[in-house]
Structure 1
Amino acid sequence: MKLRLLFSIFLMLSYSWPLGSASAATPIDTMVANINEAKQRLERTENKISKVRGALANEVRMLEQQVLRLRNETAVMRRKMDERTLSLSQLETRLSSWQEQHEYQLNLLDRFLLQSGEERVSLQQLTILEKVQKVGEQAQYHANQQVPHFTQGQVVLENGTIENAQTLSLGPITWYLSQDSNIAGIAAIKNGLLSSISTFDLHEIDNLRTLANDRHGLIKLDPTLGRATTRQQASDGMVEHVIKGGVWVIPIVIFGVVSALIALFKVVQLWRLPRVKRVVSGKAMESINGSTESGSLGSCSDNSFEGMQHALYHIAKHAETSAQRDDELFSQLQQDKIKLEKYNGTIAVTAAVAPLLGLLGTVSGMIETFRMMTAFGASDPEVISGGIAKALVTTELGLVVAIPALILNAVLSRKSRQYYDELESFALVLSNDQCELTHRDVQHQEGAIKCSSS
């Protein structure tokens, strides 16, 4: 802006300059000389202004610092003047508030250090400066925990060997990586030593190695903090679980196997029985064989019925007298009932005895547990809980055997009773039908006698 203004002024001066003075030089040369001179003067002026500006800035900064210092001194002097005018009670109030603030800060320090793992006895022996230093160390430790930071340490592997490995701790979870042995996994503190609780496969080992080398990667995380692994290791197979029950498991298992075989046999037996044809009167027998005779047993062929129903029909058809027929029908029904209900009692006995055997095994196991507690004391809870768990295995197994046995016994007994009731109804129909036939024969003979006598 200044150059433009000076250039305009020189142009005006050059045009207003007398023409007689331009005899020595041309107007263009004069103009260039004037511009150069003006430019030099401008540069000198700008340099002078910059120097003055720097000096003024330094002076202003020094004055501002003096003002701040004077303000602080004024505040101190004003506080001193106020304290001179304060009463003794006001001074005591201020001192009390300062002491409360001091106690509050100390309590915050102690609480933070206690949560960080320090012992209360050791905190009482530390000075305030040492507490502040420990807080700073904890703050630095937590800051380092925000990024993957591997440290060298020793890890006790699952086979009992001690391995030098890199460890990474993020909160309550610790990973370990052994570059030499190509082993990695999750570790936890056990008995004061860092022990492995699970191992990784090759893919997860490569991910952890990438995290250790490149500071970024994907790693396996156990949100249960090892509880899932511990539960998986503590879980037993079905055979191992049953063996824990001891000697009383043997009769329970035998009862269960026998009941299962009998139930399978009874299911096959009842399923293979032919269906009982419902017959409620002699007319129904006519409909079975399609006969037009008046409801006689002879109207039905031997092939009309099957199985137990055929045996009843055969007895009723070939019986000579009604008394003989009824006795044979009753005897056949009793045989069929015995055949239908055979072995059902074994399943019922199993359903009743299996829980008692389980309870007996539990009582024996509890007695053994209390005997161990008497001999070795009750200081170890694992011994007590393990003994009780083993003692309850027999009760569990007894109920597992008894409940299905009870259900199977009820179903099979109901099916057998239903089939027997149908056979019994058919036998009653046979008996009543034979009585009607006998009565008709008697009437027919009486009529024939009357006709012959007349």
Structure 2
Amino acid sequence: MRLLFFALLFCFSANTAADSSVLSERVVNSKLALSKLQQTINEESLQYQTRLEQSLREVEALRAQAESIRRASDEKVISYEQLSERVRAWREQDNYQRMVVQSFFEQQNLALSAFKSKNGDLTLSPSMFEILKHELVNKISPNWQEKPVVNDKGEIIDFNVLNLGPLALAYNSELAQGGLLTRKINQTLPNIIPNIYTESQLEHLATFVDTGAGFITFDPTLGNAEKLLHKQDNVISHIQKGGVWALPILIFGLISLIATLVKGYQLLLMPKPSNDFIEKIKQIDVSSLEFNIHFKGAEKALIDIAVNNPVSEHRDDQLVAFLMQYRYRVENYLGVVATSAAIAPLLGLLGTVSGMINTFMMMNTFGTGDAATVSGGISEALVTTELGLIVAIPSLIMSALLNRKAKSLNTKLEANAIKLSKLDILSHE
């Protein structure tokens, strides 16, 4: 039995090994077939994609051809108004191009006489565009060129000049001079802008000339910063722009200043009235000279009146008369400051009206095209207003402070005088 069992087991193992080898062979064959199928699909997809792209290009070309045919068809039936509008647009474009080209030639100081017709009109030609191309190439790839330049002393000297778009730099290594260049109207040679480059900036410029790399200082406003630099005025020139009305405003300002200083000094020297005036009198022997030590100024004068006169209307009249005299002395010349504060802005307004009248007269004579012609009247109008306010505002403030100080002195002294008028100093003695 055992022998029969082992024989059956051996036969089963042999059959299983044979089936496994067949199955492995089928898997390998299936993988090869799948790989070939994928390669075939990829090749066919690539072919189809190439055909699709070619078809899309053909469709795009046909669309462009159809658009051209439709445009040509539309132009055959275009109306006269549309044709006139198109011609007008073409003419405007042509005029704009001529203006741009002419402006470029003028900025680069290039001759235009060879490209103008007998009527003086600019004629665009291939040679002109060759010049433009050459200039633009030089702008894109600039290099140093030796050219005559007017330095800050007015001397014409050869400098190494580099054009960087709208900017121009110049440097002379022998003289160690250089800086930004500017070209004035109706002047053939460029000028070095003075007082711009410091010694350290000139050293950076020299390094830039030698090595082609370095820090340079330039004007990002393309000339406006230079104009502002030269337009900066000092105080005297700024006041002179105000014209004839600036002088009386300054005179009133000076008068107000002198009156403020004098009156302020006077009020500071005046003794302040005491808050306990009557209590001090009651504690002092007025028959002696002791009250001369404790009281000064107006209070001492009030005590003198009270000591020399008994309680009566006569003493009250003398006290009132002294208070009126004291008030006049305290408030004297305060009106000068207030008057200056009131008159100065009115004079500024008068100067404003005068300047605007002058402006309108210039505009009526020369028109509004030249701003420099009418700027004088506007400067006069604005500067006089400015000066009037500069004088009026401090004068008004100082007038208020001085009046408050004077009113405080008068009020306290009057209160002390009223209390003193009811006090019998002789009986108190």
What's the TM-score once normalised by structure 2's chain length? 0.65
- Equivalent residue for 1:95, pick from 65, 77, 82: 65
1:387 aligns with 2:377: yes
Matching residue within 172, 182, 186 for 1:188: 182
Deviation at 1:253, TM superposition (A): 1.2
The one-letter code sitting in structure 1 at the alignment partner of 2:301 is A
Q: In structure 1, what is the Cα distance between the partners aligned to 2:63 and 2:125?
A: 29
Deviations 1:238-261 (A, max 9, x none): 011112222222211111111101
Query: 1:228 offset after TM fit, Å?
Result: 3.2
User: What residue is the counterpart of 1:302 in the other structure?
Assistant: 292
Structure 1 runs not aligned, ≥5 long:
1-74, 100-109, 442-454
Gaps of 5+ in 2: 1-49, 70-92, 104-114, 116-122
Give, in whole Å, the separation in 1 of the partners of 2:144 and 2:405. Answer: 72
Q: CA 1:361/1:143 → structure 2, altered by over 3 Å: closer, same or farther?
A: closer
Give the deviation of 1:225 after TM superposition: 3.9
Question: SS where residue 187 of structure 1 aligns?
Answer: strand
1:150–1:166 Cα contact (<8 Å) kept: yes
Q: Distance in 2 between matches of 1:157 and 1:373?
A: 38
Percent identity over the alignment?
33
Please list the CA deviations of residues 281-317 of structure 1 after superposition, one character each: whole Å capped at 9, or x if unmatched: x54533x53x7xxxx8989733321001111111112
Q: Among 281, 285, 309, which residue is 1:285 paired with?
A: 281
Q: Give the greater-gyration-radius structure (CA).
A: 1
Query: Residues 136, 252 of structure 1: CA spacing in aligned structure 2 closer, same or farther, 3 A cutoff?
Result: closer
Distance in 2 (alpha carbons) for counterparts of 1:249 and 1:139: 53
* 2:359–2:378 contact (8 Å) kept in structure 1: yes
The structural deviation recorded for 1:361 is 1.8
Asked if 1:354 is matched to 2:348, the reply is: no
CA distance in structure 2 between the partners assigned to 1:359 and 1:139 by the alignment: 54
**One of 360, 367, 388 as aligned partner of 2:357:** 367
Computed over aligned residues only, the root mean square deviation of the Cα atoms, in angstroms, reads 4.2
Q: Name the structure 1 match of 2:13.
A: none
2:250 equivalent among 235, 249, 253: 253
Measure, in 1, the Cα distance between the counterparts of 2:183 and 2:270. Answer: 67
Q: 2:207 aligns with which of 199, 205, 210?
A: 210
2:402 is the alignment partner of 1:430: no
2:141 is paired with a residue whose SS is helix
5 Å matches for 1:13-412?
92-95=62-65, 118=101, 140-141=137-138, 143-144=140-141, 149-155=143-149, 163-179=157-173, 182-191=176-185, 194-199=190-195, 200-279=197-276, 282-283=278-279, 285-286=281-282, 289=284, 301-412=291-402
Choose between structure 1 and 2 for higher RCO, CA contacts under 8 A separated by at least 6 residues: 2
Report the CA distance shift for 1:143/1:247 in structure 2 as closer, same or farther (over 3 A). closer
Cα offsets for 1:381-408 (capped at 9, x unmatched): 1221233113321111111111111111
Q: In structure 2, do the counterparts of structure 1 residues 432 and 298 end up closer, same or farther at CA, with 3 Å as the change threshold?
A: farther
2:373 and 2:132 map into 1 onto residues whose CA distance is 42
Count of aligned pairs = 333
Structure 1 match to 2:21: none
